[in-house]
Amino acid sequence: MSKDLQKVSRRNFLKVAAGYTAGAASLSVLAACAPKSTPAPAAGGEEKPATAPAASGEKKKIVIWTWYTETEKQLNAAVEEYNQSQDKVVAENRVYGSSEYLQVLEAAIAGGKAPDIFGPHVHAIEYGLAGQTIDLIPAFGEEFLSKFFPSTRRQFTAEGKQFAIGWMAQTFGFFYNPALFEQAGVKDLPETWDDIIAIAPKFIEAGIIPWAFNNADKWLGADFFLPLITQATDNPDLVYDLDEHTKPGVSWDSEPVIESLRLVEKLVKGKVFQDGVNGTDWSQSTALFYSGKAAMFFAGSWVPAGIIADASPEFAESYRVFKTPAWAKGKRHWCGNQAGAALSVYAKGNITESIEFLKFLYDDNRYSKIMNESFSMPSTIEAAKLVEHPIMKEMTSWLPDGAPHILFGKGSWDAVSNNVQSVTGLLATPEAAAKQMEADVVAARSR
C-alpha cells in the first residue's frame, strides 16, 4: 500500500465522501462529468454501456468496477482464473482511483449503464431501495449468505433485503510499541478506558506521547466514538437506529450518546492524546507512532499493510496490537467492525452470470488467498479461520464483537464528526455537542 493510499485510505475516503454524498445525491440528479477512464464513446457519439449485450457467438461479458486498489492484483488473478474456466462468459475487472470512482459510478447509474458488479460506496442502501441493485437474499440464498459475519451483512440490509456483500471487513484496535511500554514502566496492557487514563502519566513522565490520535479530518474521531455507544449500552443496533432516525425516543441527544461523549471528554482531560489532536492529520499521527514518539495508535485493520509499506522493517517486526478497551472491567470489548468495502449486483446487468462469478470468487480457499496476499481482512467466517499474518489474525478474531461505525443516514456523518471534534477540542460540553448533533441531523433531513 502506497503512502498516498495511507493518507486517503479506503476508510478515510469512504467517510469523507459520505460527508457530501450520503443521502444527499438523488438518483435522478447525479454527477454529469466523468473522468478520463470512463468507457469510451461509441460511433455516433453515444456512450457504450459498461456491459454490452453479447453478439451471436461471442462470450457474454460481466464487468466489475471498484476503487479497491488494495486487492487489485489479487482480484485480477482471480478474474483470469475464472475466464480460463469459462466457455460462454468473460469477466473484466476495472479499478478506479479513489478520487474519480464516485463520479464515474454515479454517472453510470444515472445513465442506466452501470457495470454488472460494483462497489456501491456510500450508496449501498440508497441504490438498493431505488431498485438499481438486486436483493441478494433470494439471489444467493441463506446458505451462501450465512458464510458472512453478521456485522458485515447488517450494514447493507434495509426493509428485509440485503443489497451488498462484504469484500474487505475491518476491526479497530490499539497498535502499540512494546519498547515504549517497557521504557515507561507500563507492564500490563489496558483493559478499560480508565486503564488508558491511568497509564498516561507514566508515558508523559518518560517523554512519550501516550496515544497519537488524528482528528483533523474528523473521520477517525467518529470511528472511535460510534462504537462507544454500543459499549455504553451493549446494544449494537442502537447506532443503526440513530442513523435511521425514525424510531420514537431514539435521538442523537439521548443519554447513551451523551454518556459516550463524556468518555471522550474524560480521555481528553486525562491527556492521553498529544497536544493539538484536532490539528493532526493521518500522516502526522502515523509518523509519531512509526518514529517511536508515541506509545499507542488507534485505527483499523488496514494499518498492518501500511506499516509494511511505510515503517522501518524493525518497527514492522516489533509492533503489536491489543483490543479496543472495554467500557468497564469484565464488559465486552465492542470495537468498530463493518465491511469497509463491498460488492453489489446491478439490477439491469447480467445478473445470473454475476451471481455465479461471485460464488466462484468467494470460494473459501480462493477468497482467503486474495485476503492473505493483500493483507486484508475477510468478511466470511471460514476465510477468517485461514488468516495468516499474526496481527491480522488477532484483529480478525475480534469480528464477533463488531459494533457499527459507518453511517448512511442523511446528515448523520457531518453531525457526528463535527460535534465529536468539538468535544476532542474541548470546545463544547458533551451535553451541548449531543444537542447540536440532533439539531444538525433534523436540519439535514428537513432539507
Find the CATH number of the domain harbouring 201: 3.40.190.10
Residue 303 shares a structural domain with residue 241: yes
Evaluate if residue 13 carries a pLDDT over 50.
Answer: no
Does residue 4 form part of some domain?
Answer: no
Evaluate if residue 56 carries a pLDDT over 90.
Answer: no
Does residue 13 form part of some domain?
Answer: no
Evaluate if residue 191 carries a pLDDT over 80.
Answer: yes
Residue 122: per-residue pLDDT: 83
Q: pLDDT-based confidence at 32, cuts 50/70/90?
A: very low
For residues 396-412, give the mean pLDDT: 89
Evaluate if residue 131 carries a pLDDT over 90.
Answer: yes
Evaluate if residue 135 carries a pLDDT over 80.
Answer: yes
Q: pLDDT-based confidence at 410, cuts 50/70/90?
A: confident
Residue 192 shares a structural domain with residue 293: yes
418 versus 45: the higher-pLDDT residue is 418
Lowest mean pLDDT among 21-30, 345-354, 364-373: 21-30
Residue 151: per-residue pLDDT: 84
Does residue 413 form part of some domain?
Answer: yes
Three-state SS for the chain is CCHHHHHCCHHHHHHHHHHHHCCCCCCCCCCCCCCCCCCCECHHHCECCCCCCCCCCCCEEEEEEECCHHHHHHHHHHHHHHHHCCCCEEEEEEECCCCCHHHHHHHHHHCCCCCCEECCHHHHHHHHHCCCECCHHHHHCHHHHCCECHHHHHCCEECCEECCEEEEEEEEEEEECHHHHHHHCCCCCCCEHHHHHHHHHHHHHCCCEEEECCCCCCHHHHHHHHHHHHHHHCCCCHHHHHHHCCCCCCCCCCHHHHHHHHHHHHHHHCCCECCCHHHCCHHHHHHHHHCCCEEEEEEECCHHHHHHHHCCHHHHHHCEEEECCECCCCCCCCEEEEEEEEEEEECCCCHHHHHHHHHHHCCHHHHHHHHHHCCCEECEHHHHCCCCCHHHHHHHCCHHHEECCCCCCCCHHHHHHHHHHHHHCCCCCHHHHHHHHHHHHHHHHHC
5 versus 86: the higher-pLDDT residue is 86
Residue 354: closest CA among 99, 156, 105, 65: 65
Residue 260 shares a structural domain with residue 346: no
Number of domains in the chain: 2
pLDDT digits (tens, 9 = 90+) for 137-187: 999 999 999 999 988 898 899 899 999 999 999 999 999 999 999 999 999
9 versus 286: the higher-pLDDT residue is 286
24: left (phi over 0), alpha (psi -120 to 50) or beta: alpha
Per-chain mean pLDDT for the chain? 88
Whole domain around residue 347: which residue ranges?
23-170+340-400
Residue 433 shares a structural domain with residue 330: yes
Evaluate if residue 393 carries a pLDDT over 90.
Answer: yes
**Cβ(315)–Cβ(206) under 8 Å?**
no
Residue 241 shares a structural domain with residue 316: yes
Residue 352 shares a structural domain with residue 276: no
Residue 162 shares a structural domain with residue 273: no
Evaluate if residue 26 carries a pLDDT over 50.
Answer: no
Residue 223 shares a structural domain with residue 154: no
Residue 79 shares a structural domain with residue 227: no
Measure the CA–CA gap between 127 and 102, rounded to whole angstroms. Answer: 13
Residue 191 shares a structural domain with residue 162: no
Evaluate if residue 52 carries a pLDDT over 70.
Answer: no
Does residue 350 form part of some domain?
Answer: yes
Does residue 3 form part of some domain?
Answer: no
pLDDT above 70: percentage of residues in the chain: 87
The C-alpha cell 469477466 sits at 91
Residue 45, CA distances (Å) to 41, 48, 51, 112, 159 in order? 6, 9, 17, 16, 40
Q: Give the end of a domain, one of 362, 381, 400.
A: 400
Evaluate if residue 407 carries a pLDDT over 90.
Answer: no
Residue 316, CA distances (Å) to 27, 57, 294, 306, 311 in order? 45, 53, 15, 10, 6
pLDDT digits (tens, 9 = 90+) for 231-251: 999 999 999 999 999 999 999
10 versus 224: the higher-pLDDT residue is 224
Evaluate if residue 387 carries a pLDDT over 50.
Answer: yes
Residue 53: per-residue pLDDT: 55
Does residue 28 form part of some domain?
Answer: yes
Residue 38 shares a structural domain with residue 113: yes
Cell of 295: 506509545
Residue 316 shares a structural domain with residue 383: no
**Cβ(286)–Cβ(316) under 8 Å?**
no
